[in-house]
A and B are shown apart, each in its own frame.
Chain A
Amino acid sequence: MTVLRPELEPAVPPPESSALALPRRHYLNAGYSVRSWLLTLDHKRIGLLYLLSITFFFVIGGLAASIVRLDLMTPQGDLVQTETYNKLFTAHGVIMVFFFLVPSIPAVLGNFLVPLMIGARDLAFPRLNLLSWYVYMLGGAFTLYALAAGGVDTGWTFYAPYSSTYSNTYVMATAIGIFITGFSSILTGLNFIVTIHKMRAPGLVWYRLPLFIWSMYATSIIMVLGTPVLAIAIFLVGMERMLGVGIFDPRLGGDPILFQHLFWFYSHPAVYIMILPSMGVVSEIVPCFCRKRIFGYGFIAFSSVAIAAFSFLVWGHHLFVSGQSVYAGLVFSLLSYSVAIPSAIKVFNWTATLHKGSISFDTPMLYAMGFIGLFTMGGLTGLYVAALAVDVQLHDTYFVVAHFHYIMVGGAVMGYLGGIHFWWPKMTGRLYPEGWARLSAILIFFGFNLTFFPQYILGYLGMPRRYHIYPAEFQVLNVMSSAGASILAVGYFFPLTYLVWSLFYGRVAPSNPWRATGLEWQATSPPAVENFAETPVVTQEAYDYPAFDAMDAMAAKGLPG
């Protein structure tokens, strides 16, 4: 994309050696007061508020997982009591899903990048955007209160009638927390949809949009359409629990399967809320570090929309052994395979993009390559759990745990970290230490595989999930998994430290350190409050790296030494 904005962007980046200075005026130094942050309407600052908040929740959720893995080193479960263990895996699931993964890329990178990428000054509804963060924090506060008060032990799935009638833990406080947080998700989705429709820069037609925007658009559709159903499910659990209205518990005249239908109608599409944004990030990173057009732009773009659409038709594959009719099982199995196709399209197109590229292995690219490998394995094991007769064996075992962690951690978190590294110079104006960053990307990749691959084997052997105590023959594989988790934890600890370090001591970043084509790289690093001095005009497709590099080369020739 070319942008007519010569006064902000030098034709050629200054050589790396010359001491760069941060721009005199940017969104970070526009105000230092607490008020300037807590009442900001700037999408970039709100993105950073989200970054801090979700990192906090990630650490809490990660600590819960660490204790769980430590406890599972021995079959007797002798580290914590069983009640505590059940509360820990519930806390891990609830926090990671609703307070980290769902908001992660959309609320941090999406908030920061959507306006920049489409050449807009801000999102369509800046006040709604700030409100969404407050709503998220309010929901988080309820959930943290539930944890501090004594925890909740239902699992993140809240299956009724256990959650609605039997559990004696803080179900309602947690449920209210999730209910509230859902609205922040809806507001974010709504904001993105309107912004992407109405605020694109002149010339930025749909087929010129970065694929990250397509994936944010698809994600937003799921957020807006799916989240209300979760809110309804939670509301009904509350009605039954507090008022004794019979909805799910058969003793009150209810139907326990109904809860599962309502819950998975949201929570299966929610998996795509978590993974689609990462797919968008990878689609940005891969062409940049290959210096090449992305292969199959249209196919990748529409596969995101297809995934969003199909995601609403597959929830019944969580109910193959719960007593839904055989014929419903057949239909949901078949429909589940329909999601495999757009996922395969993306993987093949990213791989084909590498062909004849000029590939460099900077940290974002390492994360993107790791993402493709791990997502492929997570996706392929999805074929197992969608296969009716095989799912009977795998349902509610560690195979499922491994499968969704390959998607949500191997996929979504790798994509998130890749994106954070890719856009860190833009967000902060600083470069992170490349050596440490590569090391941690590699550690995370290997630690992840050691943690979760043994769980596939455990699952087919029959080890059920959510087991505090397990038969001794499963110990070896569990110890491997826990060992991997310790490597993973170290891998996650590194970015937490060196990224903070880079804020103070990192080298100052040029406006376009990766020589990437997106509009966001035409803004200064960090961008000005108003993003662009004048509205950019887009005349070209996204990812035209050959033309971009040719212009760089010409400009370099035209300038003396």
Chain B
Amino acid sequence: MVNDGFRLFPEQATAHAAQVDALYLFLTLVSTFFTVLIAGLIVYFAIKYRRGNRKVDRTLSHGHGMAMEISWIVIPGLICLIIFGWSASLYFSAFRAPAGAISIQVVAKQWMWKFQHPNGGREINTLHVPMGQAVELTMISEDVIHSLFVPAFRVKHDVLPGSYSRLWFNANKTGEFHLFCTEYCGTDHSRMIGKVVVMQPAEYEAWLSGGKVNESPAVAGKRLFEELRCATCHTPGQGQPVLTCPPLTNVYGHEVQLTTGSKVMADEDYLRESILRPRAKVVAGFQPLMPTYEGQVDEEQLMQLLVYIKSLSTNPSAQ
């Protein structure tokens, strides 16, 4: 918890934290064993075979050298493989958020964290989340690389400029937990901290509805889509009889055929690039007519547009 007293081991506030700690303790066991073994042997030999000790037998027995070499190659090698397998499977299984996770948009900048909840609620440097529900953060930076770290959840991921990063957790304990920026980002890096407030789901709902009412990102995205006249070219029946730009229904999460002949998965980074640099990857059958929107939409508006475009897809959970 924030403002906790002195401790030697971090608090666990997710089921994942307990799993990481199990591996951490195993590693500590292995390390302690080998440290004690090596240090113990050094001290033991140093005392027993000190130069002043003339009584000790120093005749060397020959022939075990190779067996010893092989044993201290093979045994540490096997232990390493166990650690690798364990940590890799934990990392791999915890990589993707489960379906139905609450999606929260995060924009980082020097030196603050901006969060937006699905109903449009915004907050800075404090993130309220419900206990017992998976929460997925979609994160981007407006400037340099930052990194979002919640030690009690054992989660961390860099927040890059120019592309989206994701991180998810499912808190199993209410309370306030530290949130740190862990990628050095300039002068006030150490002030780019905040807290995650984990609440009972009912309290979270009450908190959400109690805040200042904002447009939800999907609604804001739809409004932007119209304000920026995207609909003119991208929506059938709005402008010309023949669409000059690809329709956006069921695009997100599906493969798109490009003019170059290659295919690309229409994920958030692809859609973002297509808004900012439309000529980078042009859909087959269309001309590169679209102007760039670089400089006309900020990171938060881009995220809202993407949430809206995602909502046009029947398979929005696909990534």
Contact = CB atoms under 8 A, between A and B. Distances in A.
Interface of A: 77, 82-83, 86, 153-155, 157, 159, 161-162, 165-167, 249-251, 255-257, 290, 295-296, 299, 320-323, 326, 329-330, 333-334, 337, 340-341, 344-345, 347-349, 351-352, 354-361, 369, 372-373, 376-377, 380-381, 383-384, 386-393, 395-397, 457, 460-462, 464-473, 476
Q: Which 8 pairs, one residue from A and one from B, show the smallest C-beta to C-beta distance?
A: A250-B162, A462-B151, A387-B87, A388-B91, A354-B45, A389-B90, A467-B190, A337-B80
Counting chain A CB atoms within 10 Å of each CB, the highest count among B4, B77, B189 belongs to B189
B20 interface: yes
Interface of B: 2-10, 19-20, 23-24, 27, 30-31, 34-35, 38-39, 41-42, 45-46, 49-51, 56-60, 65, 68-69, 72-73, 76-77, 80-81, 83-84, 86-88, 90-92, 94-95, 110, 143-145, 147, 149, 151-152, 154-158, 160-163, 165, 178, 180-191, 193
B161 A256 contact: yes
Nearest to B33: A380
B27 A256 contact: no
Given A351-B38, A351-B41, A390-B20, A460 B73 contact: no
Contacts, number: 248
A321 B38 contact: no
A82 B72 CA distance: 47
A44 B124 CA distance: 61
Contact of B184 (A250, A296, A466, A470): A466
Contact of A471 (B3, B39, B186): B3
A341 to B, nearest CB: 6
Given A333-B88, A372-B42, A82 B162 contact: no
B117 to A, nearest CB: 24
A295 B61 CA distance: 12
Say what secondary structure dominates the interface of chain B. Answer: mixed
B144 A389 contact: no
B190 A82 contact: yes
Say what secondary structure dominates the interface of chain A. Answer: helix
A371 to B, nearest CB: 11
Contact of B9 (A355, A384, A461): A461
A16 to B, nearest CB: 16
Given A377-B31, A387-B84, A388-B87, 5 more contacts: A77-B190, A322-B158, A326-B92, A389-B88, A461-B9
A268 B46 CA distance: 34
A354 B49 contact: yes
A403 to B, nearest CB: 11
A162 B144 contact: yes
B249 to A, nearest CB: 29
Given A257-B160, A344-B76, A466 B87 contact: no
Given A257-B160, A388-B88, A395-B156, A159 B51 contact: no
Contacts of A333: 84, 87-88
Given A82-B187, A354-B46, A340 B76 contact: yes
B144 A390 contact: no
Contact of A383 (B27, B60, B88): B27
B277 to A, nearest CB: 8
B160 A352 contact: no
Given A356-B58, A466-B190, A392 B158 contact: no
Contact of A393 (B7, B151, B193): B151
B7 A383 contact: no
A345 B162 CA distance: 44
B147 A380 contact: no
A385 B263 CA distance: 37
A396 B3 contact: no
Given A299-B69, A354-B46, A323 B156 contact: no
A256 B162 contact: yes
Contact of B80 (A326, A341, A461, A462): A341
Counting chain A CB atoms within 10 Å of each CB, the highest count among B56, B147, B181, B187 belongs to B187
A250 B161 contact: yes
Contacts of A337: 80-81, 83-84
A372 B20 CA distance: 29
A478 B114 CA distance: 30
B149 A464 contact: yes
Nearest to B148: A321
A388 to B, nearest CB: 4
A247 B45 CA distance: 56
Nearest to A331: B88
A386 B83 CA distance: 9
A162 B185 contact: yes
Contacts of A387: 23, 27, 83-84, 86-87
